């Protein structure tokens, strides 16, 4: 592996399950590579591949006329009133994400010694080899194509849609054609009872030997190497296969096909974009070289090894980068081998997508924040429709669940009232605001979305309590309910924090409206501390907390916001820490444990952060691919843990606000020394940090002149940073 043992993983056997296949992607196309020399399977995915299920025509509920009555009843003490704020629909699911097909390469009888398959995170290349066979695959960020080169004496090649869960009514047609460049294979699949379809095209180009059609595929014999270029497109009506073929043919001839090195040319173009992005941030925990050299499946059996944390950190950044482009990552990133993807393989915005993308600004992955910004901008018109239909308000309300094609709120029911949640836009915009702070410039798309969200709060926050404070009503804390009330309640802590953050942030972006929005934020009620001394999940008097739950929505003000900190609001921070102590794990979802670790790290609760992280490392959450699962024992393929873990480790080592730097707040257990390089801070400096049991050293490279507070275990001091001048800090550690 070109990046070294910390920057890739390997296995001594092919993937027997699609969940163990190594992954590569460019944020549009994805590929899961099994690496079987006798029957290699490359499963092709694309962010746009969602199966029509009626969700493509669904609308948000038109409930605005009922809102005043429901608000009146809730304010009068009817804690179940929000149960009537529905149009009675059963819980509909958004269009489910699915794989396109698998490219199959059969060559029975290969039993050569020395088998090894690997993925190189620094290049995005998945390789497999034995004595008589070699395979290389990557998905190009430059040319948006899956590139696959095979060295073998003979191959039968075909496109096969028969993957688990494929609907019986899927109408599939195959095409095979010989061209001067090689064989052109195509597969078109039309969804049952729909005018929508997708088409995949693979160009098979052999270097020497003979290529012949073996419908619906092709056979290559006697070639030195075989190159396959694959693309897939979802569409309505017909797609011009000939045009797609010309695109692949032009790509091939433009890379020196006659010289026999097109793969290397395509790879070089891809590396210009991928390698620099991947290398921006690195983590070195000084792990044992022998453990670093282990296959991933063996290293996972050593959950306390620093080598495992190093590799999971690297894999998480690689998979997050590889799944972000057209969209940010789904619940499964960009990959699945099954049509029956859990929770539709969608974008769940009340924890999952948010946790996965939160590290992108600090982890120097603007490719991820750009994918998120584009996603928000495309969906903003639908968010406006949600605000009008449900709340009769201007502005924008994000859905809690979306397939990426529609941003309309329709995934809800009386028992699961996700349509009541109003904090989603703020959470989705938080990484974009962080990114703007890091670079010292404001993206007009973020500014526009913040303004729309602030307008919503202007129209929604009209009711007051007996003290004159505004009331968020109805109010929903994902995905929990008061012990003595209904799902829809009043003044969920998350809703209050999100409204306050949106209004104050929008005021900074839009000075012309600043007075109005700040005044509205000042009228929001304070957080409440309950009878247990914990920050209450609902700030409305009399509502009782339900502690055993996977979500930590009420601690939104601690993380990802900076509303509650041990430095500025120590009383609330103590109450938040008490709330964290009382919180249960419910079903042990990975996102719950890692969310817990993030909040604990912000509060400086080192042992609690380490304990939450240890749950995931000890719980068998990772497949051999180093993609993760939602539940322990590799149950339900899911990207939450894989993509969130790098952010957890960064948060345990480096935290920043526009005016503060916190170093080593919660060093992970078993990591007495290490080095984290390239972290970006919200005051516009890059940080390299190294530490040992005897002390630490940090190098700050500021891009703008600024005064900040430095916080370490030794205390607080002011730093005056000057743009372009490195600042070297030597620190004591305790």
- On the question of pLDDT at 2 being above 70, the answer is no
List CB contacts of 338: < 8 A, sequence separation 6 or more: 18, 98, 99, 163, 164, 165, 637
Q: Which domains are present in the chain?
A: 5-50+97-279 (2.70.98.50), 55-92+323-584 (1.50.10.10)
CA distances from residue 650 to 62, 103, 370 in whole angstroms, order as listed: 43, 38, 21
Q: Report whether 430 contacts 561 (CB < 8 A).
A: yes
The pLDDT value recorded for residue 386 is 98
pLDDT tens for residues 643-672? 999 999 999 999 999 999 999 999 998 999
Q: Are the C-beta atoms of 12 and 290 separated by less than 8 Å?
A: no
- pLDDT surpasses 70 at 112: no
Average model confidence (pLDDT) across the chain = 95
Query: What's the confidence (pLDDT) of residue 244?
Result: 86
From CA 29, how far away is CA 89, in angstroms rounded? 35
Inter-residue long-range contacts of 202-206, CB under 8 Å, 24+ positions, other chains counted: 202/103, 202/157, 202/159, 202/228, 202/229, 202/230, 203/179, 203/228, 203/229, 203/230, 203/245, 203/248, 203/249, 203/252, 204/157, 204/228, 205/181, 205/229, 205/252, 205/257, 205/262, 206/182
Residue 366 burial class via C-beta count within 10 angstroms: exposed 0-12, middle 13-18, buried 19 and up: middle
Residue 548 CB burial class (10 angstroms; 0-12, 13-18, ≥19)? exposed
State the pLDDT at residue 222: 92
| CA dist 426 → 204, 402, 471, 568 (Å) | 47, 16, 18, 22
CB contact set of 267 (below 8 Å; sequence gap of 6+) = 123, 125, 138, 140, 147
Chain-centroid distance, C-alpha 666: 24
pLDDT of 417 reads 94
> Encoding tokens for residue 725?
């001048």
Instruction: Check if the beta carbon of residue 33 is closer than 8 Å to that of residue 44.
Output: no
Task: For the full predicted model, state whether its pTM sits above 0.95.
Answer: yes
Residue 4 confidence (pLDDT) above 70: no
Q: Is the pLDDT of residue 3 over 60?
A: no
The residues near 34 (Cβ < 8 Å, ≥ 6 apart) are 14, 15, 18, 21, 40, 41, 42
pLDDT of 254: 80
**pLDDT at 58 exceeding the cut of 90:** yes
Q: Indicate the angle between helix axes 262-278 and 306-322, nearest 10 degrees.
A: 110
146-199 pLDDT, tens digit per residue, is 999 999 888 999 999 999 999 999 999 999 999 988 999 999 999 999 999 999
- Here the tokens at position 237 are 């009506």
CA–CA gap between residue 130 and residue 469 (Å, rounded): 70
| Long-range own/partner contacts, residues 62-67 (CB < 8 A, 24 or more apart) | 62/87, 62/389, 62/390, 63/87, 63/389, 63/390, 63/391, 63/419, 64/388, 64/389, 64/390, 64/391, 64/392, 64/393, 65/392, 67/390, 67/391, 67/392
Whole-angstrom distance, CA of residue 663 vs CA of residue 660: 10
556 touches 572 (CB < 8 A): no
Task: With both helix axes pointing from N to C terminus, report the angle between 640-653 and 306-322 in degrees, rounded to the nearest 10.
Answer: 120
3-state secondary structure 527-585: CCECCCCCECCECCCCCCCCCECCCCHHHCCCCCCCCCCCCCCHHHHHHHHHHHHHCEC
pLDDT for residue 268: 96
Rounded CA separation 642/630 (Å): 10
- Nearest-angstrom CA–CA distance, 527 and 519: 18
Say how far apart CA 628 and CA 643 lie, in whole Å.
Answer: 9
Cite the beta strand spans of 82-209 per DSSP E: 101-106, 116-120, 125-130, 133-139, 146-151, 154-160, 171-179, 182-190, 196-207
Q: Percent of the chain beyond pLDDT 90? A: 91
Q: Is the pLDDT of residue 464 over 70?
A: yes
Instruction: Report the alpha-carbon distance of residue 124 to residue 366 in Å, rounded.
Output: 17
What is the average pLDDT across 95-121?
A: 90
- For residue 238, pLDDT beyond 90: no
Split at pLDDT 50, 70, 90, the class of 131 is confident
Q: SS3 for 120?
A: strand
- Strand 660-663 relative to strand 706-712: parallel, antiparallel, unpaired? parallel
CA neighbor of 88 nearest in space, from 348, 417, 388, 474: 417
Do the beta carbons of residue 572 and residue 558 sit within 8 Å? no
The pLDDT-based confidence of 132 (bands split at 50, 70, 90) is confident
Per-residue confidence (pLDDT) for residue 111, from 0 to 100: 64
Q: In this model, does residue 108 exceed pLDDT 80?
A: no
Task: Summarize the confidence of residues 31-38 as an average pLDDT.
Answer: 96
DSSP string, 457-476: HHHH---B-TTS-B---SB-
Name the pLDDT band for 242 (thresholds 50, 70, 90).
Answer: confident
Structure tokens given for 662: 């916190």
Lowest mean pLDDT among 2-11, 31-40, 212-221, 490-499: 2-11
- 635 φ/ψ angles, rounded to the nearest 5 degrees: -100, 115
Please check the confidence at residue 217 and state whether its pLDDT lies above 80: yes
Tell me how far the alpha carbon of residue 49 is from its chain's centroid: 17
Given a cut of 90, whether residue 287 has pLDDT beyond it is: yes
Asked if pLDDT for residue 257 goes beyond 60, the answer is no
Residue 41 pLDDT > 80, yes or no?
yes
Say if CB 617 and CB 593 are below 8 A apart.
no
């Amino acid at each position: 592996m070109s990046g070294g043992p910390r920057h890739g993983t390997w296995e001594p056997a092919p993937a027997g399950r699609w969940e163990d296949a190594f992954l590569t992607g460019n944020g549009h196309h994805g590929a899961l590579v099994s690496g079987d020399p006798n029957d290699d399977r490359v499963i092709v995915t694309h962010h746009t591949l969602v199966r029509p299920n009626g969700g493509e025509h669904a609308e948000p509920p038109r409930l605005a006329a009922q809102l005043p009555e429901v608000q009146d009843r809730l304010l009068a003490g009817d804690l179940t009133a929000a149960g009537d704020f529905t149009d009675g629909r059963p819980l509909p699911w958004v269009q489910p994400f699915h794989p396109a097909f698998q490219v199959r390469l059969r060559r029975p009888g290969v039993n050569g010694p020395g088998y090894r398959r690997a993925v190189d995170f620094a290049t995005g290349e998945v390789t497999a080899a034995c004595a008589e066979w070699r395979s290389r695959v990557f998905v190009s960020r430059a040319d948006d194509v899956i590139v696959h080169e095979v060295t073998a004496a003979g191959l039968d090649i075909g496109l096969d849609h028969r993957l688990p869960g494929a609907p019986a009514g899927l109408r599939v047609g195959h095409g095979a054609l010989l061209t001067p460049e090689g064989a052109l294979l195509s597969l078109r699949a039309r969804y049952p009872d729909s005018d929508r379809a997708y088409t995949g095209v693979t160009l098979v180009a052999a270097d020497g030997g003979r290529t012949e059609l073996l419908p619906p595929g092709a056979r290559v014999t006697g070639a030195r190497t075989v190159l396959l270029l694959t693309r897939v497109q979802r569409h309505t009506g017909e797609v011009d296969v000939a045009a797609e073929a010309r695109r692949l043919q032009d790509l091939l001839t433009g890379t020196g096909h006659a010289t026999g090195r097109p793969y290397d040319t395509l790879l070089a173009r891809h590396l210009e974009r991928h390698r620099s992005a991947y290398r921006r941030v690195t983590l070195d925990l000084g792990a044992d070289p022998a453990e670093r050299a282990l296959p991933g499946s063996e290293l996972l059996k050593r959950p306390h090894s620093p080598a495992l944390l190093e590799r999971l950190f690297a894999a998480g950044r690689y998979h997050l980068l590889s799944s972000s482009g057209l969209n940010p990552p789904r619940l499964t990133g960009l990959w699945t081998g099954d049509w029956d993807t859990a929770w539709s393989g969608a974008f769940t915005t009340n924890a999952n997508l948010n946790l996965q993308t939160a590290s992108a600004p600090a982890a120097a992955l603007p490719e991820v924040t750009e994918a998120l910004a584009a996603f928000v901008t495309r969906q903003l018109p639908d968010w406006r429709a949600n605000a009008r239909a449900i709340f009769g308000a201007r502005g924008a309300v994000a859905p809690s669940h979306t397939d990426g094609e529609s941003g309309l709120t329709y995934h809800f029911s009386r028992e699961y009232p996700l349509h009541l949640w109003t904090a989603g836009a703020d959470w989705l915009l938080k990484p974009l605001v962080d990114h703007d702070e890091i670079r010292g410039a404001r993206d007009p798309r973020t500014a526009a979305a913040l303004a729309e969200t602030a307008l919503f709060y202007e129209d929604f926050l009209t009711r007051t309590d007996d003290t004159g404070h505004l009331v968020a009503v109805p109010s929903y804390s994902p995905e929990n309910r008061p012990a003595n009330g209904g799902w829809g309640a009043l003044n969920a802590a998350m809703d209050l924090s999100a409204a306050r953050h949106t209004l104050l942030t929008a005021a900074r972006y839009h000075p012309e409206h600043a007075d109005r929005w700040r005044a509205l934020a000042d009228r929001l009620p304070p957080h409440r501390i309950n009878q247990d001394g914990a920050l209450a999940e609902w700030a409305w008097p009399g509502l009782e907390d339900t502690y055993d739950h996977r979500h930590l929505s009420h601690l939104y003000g601690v993380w990802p916001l900076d509303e509650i900190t041990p430095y500025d609001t120590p009383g609330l921070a103590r109450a938040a820490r008490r709330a964290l102590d009382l919180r249960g794990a419910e079903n042990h979802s990975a996102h719950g444990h890692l969310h817990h670790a993030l909040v604990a790290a912000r509060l400086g609760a080192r042992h609690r952060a380490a304990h939450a992280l240890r749950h995931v490392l000890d719980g068998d959450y990772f497949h051999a691919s180093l993609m993760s699962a939602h539940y322990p024992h590799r149950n339900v393929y899911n990207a939450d843990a894989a993509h969130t873990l790098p952010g957890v480790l960064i948060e345990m080592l480096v935290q920043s606000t526009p005016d503060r730097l916190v170093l080593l707040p919660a060093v992970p257990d078993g990591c007495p020394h290490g080095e984290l390089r390239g972290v970006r801070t919200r005051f516009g400096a890059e940080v390299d940090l190294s530490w040992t049991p005897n002390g630490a050293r940090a190098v700050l490279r500021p891009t703008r002149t600024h005064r900040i507070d430095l916080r370490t275990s030794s205390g607080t001091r002011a730093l005056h940073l000057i743009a372009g001048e490195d600042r070297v800090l030597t620190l004591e550690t305790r």
